[in-house]
Amino acid sequence: MVKTPVQTSDPGVRRADELQTARTVARGVCRLLNGLGQASLTEFTLGTGRRVDVIGLAGDGLITVVEIKSSLADFRADRKWPEYLAFCDRFYFAVPEDFPQEVLPAEQGLIVADAYGAAILRPSAELTAVAGARRRSVILRFAQTAAGRLHGLTDPGFDAG
C-alpha cells in the first residue's frame, strides 16, 4: 500500500511526499477505471481552465472525475472540487489507505488506491446529467488531449499544448 509520508517541518519535502502519494493514487485509480471499461487521463484541463486529477471516459460517453487527496491538509485547502460536478456523471474522491476518510463529504463517491489498484468504498451520488454541449466538449477535449499525449511519446519535439 501507499507509504505514509514522513512528517517534516520542511514544506518542500512535505509537498514532494504529497506529489508522490498523488501519483501513486492516480496510477491505482487509472487501473480501476480501465477495469471498469473507461479510458482515463490524468491532469486533464476542463474548458474552464480548471484541471482535474483523473478523468475517465466510458464507451457510452459516461464521464467520471476523480479528485485525489494525498493528505488532510490537501483536502482542507481545496475549495475548487465542487466546480467539477457539472462536468461529470460520477465524482469520486480518491485517497491513500491511511487518509482519514471520515472528513470527506459523505454524498460523494470514495475510492481508496495504491500504486497497484483501487477499490470503490462508496459509490458516486447520482449527479445532474451533463448538458449535451458540455458533454461533447469534454469528449472532444479528452480525445484531443489523449492524441496529443500519444503523439508526444512518438515525437519528443512535439508540443501537445
The CA distance from 89 to 32, in Å, is 17
pLDDT computed for residue 158 by the predictor: 74
The CA distance from 49 to 80, in Å, is 12
**pLDDT per position in the chain (161 positions), as tens?**
444 444 445 555 667 888 999 999 999 999 999 999 999 999 999 999 999 999 999 999 999 999 999 999 999 999 999 999 999 999 999 999 999 999 999 999 999 999 999 999 999 998 999 999 999 999 999 999 999 999 999 998 877 66
pLDDT computed for residue 75 by the predictor: 95
Residues 6+ apart with CB under 8 A from 85: 91, 127, 128
pLDDT computed for residue 126 by the predictor: 84
pLDDT computed for residue 16 by the predictor: 85
Stated as kind and residue range, the H or E segment containing 44 is strand 38-45
Whether the Cβ atoms of residue 2 and residue 25 lie closer than 8 Å to each other? yes
pLDDT computed for residue 112 by the predictor: 98
